[in-house]
């Protein structure tokens, strides 16, 4: 039986930021990460403002070593007939980065470990329950076997999967059916390093260069607007791509690396992000529409903020959980307003279901309205925009 003050489920940006901030503060910290950071991760563009949080966590210098392509700005065809350009030249935080996400997350995990956290990769929880003397007892898989951990606080940082929340019957509420049809390309010669964003009649596109002459392109639409089957999906994607004016420039001469992948990309949240002996951070608490471009920044921020709440609770504050909840509520309301405002600006296709659904939802803020999937199928970041080996304590 291993004992921790804090056990964090999920070693993505939110979980690792929390571990980095808590380790060395007098609390013992464990992280269970399902992968060995050798999977293909999405959410590659780190906006300039994320630097604030990396500096606050004391990891900005160390992150310079993560492979990245500098992002000098954004070019978008959103609500105007001509491309709108945002240049980061005068941004006080400098440029953004198009990251190798696997290496970014693994670097944060290494930094947490260097500060004293016990990071277990290739390890996932199998079961958890309230311990006899309070706190949580967690059964987790590691090295082909199972071990038990006891902790005072359990953190859900498992991203959109929200493993702990769902297990407790707190399913995140999906606000729409947005999915991304994602393609990765290799051998790209992309002279333009900006993030490209473009609205289309039944969704929107983004594309960005990645380190190693790679690139990503994704078409975001509602799941019910997609055809079924691999071949129809590929034709659908190619037809939409042929109609684009901007985004193809990034990957035009690249070679498709793997079949198209469909991923959940909608907004979803839980009303409660803090409870007796637990907190939810990052996408587990509020999964961002990629249009916001703020998912990574917000995950780092929520990890940092949750770590502060736990330190205050350890020092005897009885209000720390409430304050974290209030911080999350305020952030979610600002996110909702911004999401409605960005989607509401596109008026070019008044009768297209993708856009009319979003207008209707914006008319009743906070209500899933016609966008939400039926309750039975609810599963699950706006334009401003591999390493392996289990680590043991």
Ligand X SMILES: Cc1cc2nc3c(=O)[nH]c(=O)nc-3n(C[C@H](O)[C@H](O)[C@H](O)COP(=O)(O)OP(=O)(O)OC[C@H]3O[C@@H](n4cnc5c(N)ncnc54)[C@H](O)[C@@H]3O)c2cc1C
Instruction: Please check whether residue 50 is in contact with residue 295, taking contact to mean a CB–CB distance below 8 angstroms.
Output: no
Radius of gyration, alpha carbons of the chain: 21
Alpha helices by DSSP H, 243-350: 295-314, 320-344
Q: In whole angstroms, what is the distance from residue 132 CA to residue 297 CA?
A: 37
Q: In whole angstroms, what is the distance from residue 143 CA to residue 325 CA?
A: 36
Q: Measured from the CB of residue 17, what is the shortest distance to ligand X in angstroms?
A: 8
For ligand X, the closer of residues 225 and 263 by Cβ is 263
For ligand X, the closer of residues 264 and 317 by Cβ is 264
Q: Measured from the CB of residue 31, what is the shortest distance to ligand X in angstroms?
A: 9
Q: In whole angstroms, what is the distance from residue 364 CA to residue 327 CA?
A: 23
What are residue 127's DSSP bridge partners?
Answer: 139
Structure tokens at 270: 């839980």
Q: Measured from the CB of residue 149, what is the shortest distance to ligand X in angstroms?
A: 13
Q: Measured from the CB of residue 81, what is the shortest distance to ligand X in angstroms?
A: 25
53 — alpha (psi -120 to 50), left (phi > 0) or beta? alpha
Q: Measured from the CB of residue 315, what is the shortest distance to ligand X in angstroms?
A: 26
For ligand X, the closer of residues 155 and 348 by Cβ is 155
Instruction: Please check whether residue 172 is in contact with residue 270, taking contact to mean a CB–CB distance below 8 angstroms.
Output: yes
Q: Measured from the CB of residue 363, what is the shortest distance to ligand X in angstroms?
A: 26
Q: Measured from the CB of residue 13, what is the shortest distance to ligand X in angstroms?
A: 4
For ligand X, the closer of residues 348 and 389 by Cβ is 389
Q: Measured from the CB of residue 299, what is the shortest distance to ligand X in angstroms?
A: 4
Helices and strands (DSSP H and E) totals, the chain: 9, 22
Binding site for ligand X (CB under 6 A): 9-15, 32-35, 42-45, 105, 124-125, 157-159, 161, 163, 180, 182, 218, 263, 265, 282-283, 288, 290, 293-297, 299, 381
For ligand X, the closer of residues 75 and 265 by Cβ is 265
For ligand X, the closer of residues 317 and 379 by Cβ is 379
What are residue 156's DSSP bridge partners?
Answer: 9, 280
DSSP labels, 49-67: THHHHHHHTT-HHHHTTS-
For ligand X, the closer of residues 359 and 384 by Cβ is 384
For ligand X, the closer of residues 319 and 392 by Cβ is 392
For ligand X, the closer of residues 11 and 30 by Cβ is 11
Q: Measured from the CB of residue 186, what is the shortest distance to ligand X in angstroms?
A: 19
Instruction: Please check whether residue 324 is in contact with residue 81, taking contact to mean a CB–CB distance below 8 angstroms.
Output: no
> Pick from 182, 198, 133, 151: which is nearest to 348 by CA?
198
Q: Measured from the CB of residue 295, what is the shortest distance to ligand X in angstroms?
A: 2
Which positions ≥6 away from 28 have C-beta within 8 Å? 3, 4, 5, 6, 118
Q: In whole angstroms, what is the distance from residue 362 CA to residue 329 CA?
A: 18
For ligand X, the closer of residues 180 and 254 by Cβ is 180
- Whose tokens are 């680590």? That residue is 391
Give, in order, the Cα–Cα distances in Å from 176 to each of 88, 211, 261, 334, 391. 31, 32, 19, 17, 38
Angle at 291 (CA atoms; ends 286, 294), nearest 5 degrees: 55
């Amino acid at each position: 039986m291993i004992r921790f003050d804090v056990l964090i489920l999920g070693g993505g940006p939110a979980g690792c930021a929390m571990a980095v901030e808590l380790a060395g503060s007098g609390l013992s910290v464990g992280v269970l990460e399902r992968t060995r950071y050798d999977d293909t991760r999405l959410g590659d563009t780190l906006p300039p403002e994320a630097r604030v949080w990396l500096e606050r966590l004391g990891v900005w210098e160390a992150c310079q070593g993560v492979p990245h392509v500098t992002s000098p700005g954004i070019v978008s065809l959103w609500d105007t007939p001509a491309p709108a350009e945002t240049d980061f030249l005068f941004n006080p935080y400098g440029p953004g980065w198009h990251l190798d996400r696997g290496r970014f997350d693994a670097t944060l995990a290494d930094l947490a470990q260097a500060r004293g956290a016990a990071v277990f990769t290739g390890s996932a929880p199998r079961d958890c329950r309230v311990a006899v003397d309070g706190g949580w007892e967690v059964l987790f898989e590691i090295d082909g076997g199972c071990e038990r951990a006891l902790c005072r606080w359990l953190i859900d940082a498992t991203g959109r999967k929200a493993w702990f929340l769902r297990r407790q019957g707190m399913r995140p509420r999906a606000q729409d059916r947005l999915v991304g049809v994602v393609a990765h390309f290799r051998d790209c010669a992309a002279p333009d390093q900006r993030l490209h964003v473009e609205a289309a009649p039944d969704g929107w596109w983004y594309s960005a260069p990645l380190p190693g002459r790679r690139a990503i392109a994704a078409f975001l639409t509602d799941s019910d607007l997609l055809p079924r089957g691999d071949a129809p999906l590929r034709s659908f994607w190619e037809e939409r791509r042929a109609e684009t004016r901007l985004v193809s420039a990034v990957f035009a001469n690249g070679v498709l690396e793997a079949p198209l992948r469909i991923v959940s990309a909608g907004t979803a949240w839980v009303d409660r992000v803090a409870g007796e002996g637990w907190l939810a951070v990052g996408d587990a608490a509020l999964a961002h529409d990629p249009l916001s471009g703020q998912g990574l920044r917000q995950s780092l921020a929520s990890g940092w903020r949750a770590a502060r709440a736990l330190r205050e609770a350890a020092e005897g504050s009885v209000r720390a959980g409430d304050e974290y909840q209030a911080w999350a509520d305020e952030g979610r309301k600002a996110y909702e307003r911004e999401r409605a405002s960005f989607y509401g600006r596109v008026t070019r296709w008044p009768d297209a279901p993708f856009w009319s659904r979003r207008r209707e939802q914006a008319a009743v803020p906070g209500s899933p309205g016609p966008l939400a999937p039926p309750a039975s199928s609810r599963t699950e970041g706006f334009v401003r925009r591999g390493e392996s080996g289990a680590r043991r304590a």
